[in-house]
Structure 1
């Protein structure tokens, strides 16, 4: 998901002159899908759709591409049409990550963001397409298996015994069985390769005779790399930000994350200690961490506000190692509770757990994409080993976030070998060096497997930050416009420094306006892969 943690006005956004001719609709290619246009969803983003005159519809695609005339499902799409008839560039589409993140609003959002940042002329050249991947949110059907699975208060992520571990295993097994019962017919067709073929249908339908252009975040980088592997001749300008290691999907990915999240959790604790005069949680990172785990242990005995147990507290705090934009809010809430016994700021940050669509799709995609260990001792021993090595914060939470896959009705895979060296235009890879969700080593593998250039945010601690760092953003937009890239190498090809004001924020300063929000419109979700 993408957080638009800032407010930018849309006043002054460029629009096409009245005298300009209406854009010519591109012709669909053979094999294109039909689109059922209708009203845009009532999903809280109506202002985006209205401000951009977006069209909303359902794109029909095969459930199984091996049986193109068989059962059909549909992909929810939005389209903001190009207005530059002289330099039409085709489709530019987006994926915010997950897997399971919805991207329907991203076409309209990018139209407004590009306009505000002075790139209205470029936005006018593209048909900007937002979409919810198969199974997600407004696509039909949307996977939802058990709305009570994440209902608070859940069993402690960190099991104190095999008996406590068994409680989570039973819970995970039930969830997998619920998914099989409701969507067993669809689960084998939730691979990233299926989603990439859906992307090709988007290109065929909306941008025929043009290559696909794409901006993907987090898991969206794996989807993008998969498309490039399957359709190298149709790959246009691809921006991939916050890169998943394609060689380690997906069991090994979680182990890499556990190490990186521990590092970023400690960096966050060190930041809190630096501002102890405000937070009073400890003058060292170690003291802050100790106070956190004391609060966590207490929440296991008496849930905070009745709904925040140790797991729910972990989930709230995990946002800070993900995004430095969350530092102040998370620290404020922790201090309010630990120091002042005011639970409300934590309760305000507790998300709605009643809709399990994102979680269902997450497990469905990862369970279908690759083989997972079928011996629980492997999962258990890997987790115990990491905790003993000091990687405590995210290890068991990550186990249980993925555990339904252990009971999945089939063993997924084989894993796709990403390999796309023959695309006409190099892909622009963007990576923060201290990204916790997609650790830095992963982009080096991605760089090796793609025809690509690597742009690094040096010292950046935020996941998939190309919208939040103007240096990164401007280079990415320049690439979309001209395909200009630095000379290639096996390592870093270009870099931007992390912005100190956002990478290590001052909690005593007036809150800075976010770079990525659009004034008067609701914030988008942050790009995320667990």
Structure 2
């Protein structure tokens, strides 16, 4: 079952598979000042305007409190990471910022690659790939898109956020239990199937509480942003320079809201809108994935070998729904003990929506599934869940709800509420609507009450910030970027007219040049810049 609001960079989605981005050319790039339709398929324009009834996130005092000073004054002991050119260290942070105590300190993993030169140093550039739950260190070491000119001037830095990967990871289920959980039917047709789904959510939440109960109340985005400020201070940077993708935009914007006077050059790529509640977020994301699928389907039906027919994108959607229904009744063989269920197949298709370079692979795997071979779609699903070939899961799927369920109250609290909302989700996406609606129920059973709430982020006094939005982004719909840019007092919106999730480092020379110039010179692109 795909976790609702899993927001991470394209590279992070496909970290577990090597079958993508082969034999595919990048799009040409140019500035486009026209205004073609955004094709957000249901996402509402009113979400882009700041809502004065939503409270603004208030900044923390500029002065560092005395009880936090030891954290800012700590010295990191750097060591070789075992990855060429990278150094690693461990940073201490308080479990609870309201009551810091050395006896409960967290140990957060940090990595860096020092500036290569030539040119004078610009300090540190911190990156985060999103999730929540994505490993920033893995992203930095394997996928961070910063070019040589940026790496020459900055020490590239990453910290796995609290509860993630190497930083006190949240744990919930055994690998075998997680296999069962991912196969649970997430489009229940009967009361018995609804009960099985809600039981799975309860068991998952209880597993997290059993294994990570002390940590769960302290993995919020606000706390992670405060950890980032500690690291900024420890590294000796007066201001934070940061590139955040997907959920990483929420983390970066939260930092700017809490510490506007210490916010430097921030790039927020594939932006979230913090002023939206969980239900609206889930509904918008449902429409976003429908937009992405429609784009894939329109491309697919032009090809003679399209496994979803050659009539129209709408007909392709009906063909995919029929395949899902067939797999619901009769899962496909995969050559291993896990058959391809409807839930796993849906997750595999969703994974391929993050990057149009995956479309040829998806066509091939859908054709295989139509013939009863589910191995390919299972591979895509495993990449999404970060399941390794030996059956071990990374902690992404545990950290993700731990953060999301703490940041906002649940979208739904009962199965009846989901049933009542199904028509709106089906309207947003006839193919994925049911799946996303039921996925939004997962936080209803979370053992820790949400500490966050919807809010605007203004960050008054912050340096200029770039917010990047992609018009057909599935996971973070374009309207969210417009909404965040409208809230931030110093933001410039940079638009990528195209497909896929996030834009920086994915082939658009226009996007990359604008961001690199900003990082190196502090100059933002002209207002209303649109790139292809």
The interval holding the TM-score normalised by the smaller chain is 0.7 to 0.9
SS in 2 for 1:313: helix
2-structure distance, mates of 1:335, 1:78 = 42
Q: 1:35 aligns with which of 60, 76, 81?
A: 76
TM-score, normalised with respect to structure 2:
0.79
Q: 1:462 aligns with which of 494, 497, 500?
A: 500
Distance 1:462 1:110, change over 3 A: closer
SS in 2 for 1:56: strand
2-structure distance, mates of 1:147, 1:249 = 32
SS in 2 for 1:151: helix
Distance 1:308 1:112, change over 3 A: closer
1-structure distance, mates of 2:154, 2:70 = 18
Deviation at 1:84, TM superposition (A): 4.6
The equivalent of 1:430 in structure 2 is 468
Whether 2:518 is the aligned partner of 1:479: answer: yes
Whether 2:355 is the aligned partner of 1:345: answer: no
The equivalent of 1:442 in structure 2 is 480
Q: Deviations over 1:89-140 (max 9, x none)?
A: 221011101111111034445788512xxx2xx3222111022111111112
Q: Contact 2:170–2:215 at 8 Å: present in 1 too?
A: no
The equivalent of 1:199 in structure 2 is 228
Aligned residues: 457
Unaligned runs of 5+ in 1: 9-27, 41-45, 498-530
The equivalent of 1:314 in structure 2 is 346
Q: Contact 2:119–2:152 at 8 Å: present in 1 too?
A: no
Deviation at 1:83, TM superposition (A): 4.4
Q: 2:109 aligns with which of 72, 76, 81?
A: 76
Deviation at 1:162, TM superposition (A): 2.7
1-structure distance, mates of 2:291, 2:143 = 32
Q: Contact 1:106–1:129 at 8 Å: present in 2 too?
A: no
The equivalent of 1:132 in structure 2 is 160
The equivalent of 1:494 in structure 2 is 529
Q: How does 1:203-222 map to 2 (within 5 A)?
A: 203-206=232-235, 208-222=236-250
The equivalent of 1:175 in structure 2 is 204
Q: Deviations over 1:26-51 (max 9, x none)?
A: xx9972344354453xxxxx6xx21x
Distance 1:175 1:81, change over 3 A: same
Q: 2:357 aligns with which of 317, 325, 343?
A: 325
Q: Deviations over 1:214-237 (max 9, x none)?
A: 000110000000000001111110
Distance 1:212 1:218, change over 3 A: same
Distance 1:368 1:335, change over 3 A: same
Unaligned runs of 5+ in 2: 1-7, 12-19, 24-68
Whether 2:303 is the aligned partner of 1:275: answer: yes
Larger RCO, structure (CA 8 Å, separation 6 or more): 2
SS in 2 for 1:457: strand
2-structure distance, mates of 1:35, 1:378 = 51
Deviation at 1:399, TM superposition (A): 4.0
Deviation at 1:87, TM superposition (A): 2.4
Q: 2:293 aligns with which of 261, 265, 269?
A: 265
Q: Contact 2:348–2:381 at 8 Å: present in 1 too?
A: yes
SS in 1 for 2:424: helix
Whether 2:224 is the aligned partner of 1:186: answer: no
1-structure distance, mates of 2:121, 2:426 = 56
Distance 1:270 1:109, change over 3 A: same
The equivalent of 2:448 in structure 1 is 410
Deviates more, 1:99-108 or 1:231-240: 99-108
1-structure distance, mates of 2:354, 2:213 = 33
Distance 1:335 1:261, change over 3 A: same
1-structure distance, mates of 2:279, 2:145 = 38
Runs of 4 or more, structure 1, over 6 Å off, are none
Whether 2:93 is the aligned partner of 1:54: answer: no
Distance 1:331 1:277, change over 3 A: closer
Q: 1:237 aligns with which of 252, 265, 284?
A: 265
The equivalent of 1:504 in structure 2 is none
Deviation at 1:183, TM superposition (A): 1.4
Distance 1:79 1:172, change over 3 A: same
Q: Contact 1:144–1:355 at 8 Å: present in 2 too?
A: no
Q: Alpha carbon RMSD of aligned pairs, Å?
A: 2.7
2-structure distance, mates of 1:176, 1:280 = 37
1-structure distance, mates of 2:283, 2:294 = 17
Deviation at 1:68, TM superposition (A): 2.4
Q: Contact 2:239–2:264 at 8 Å: present in 1 too?
A: yes
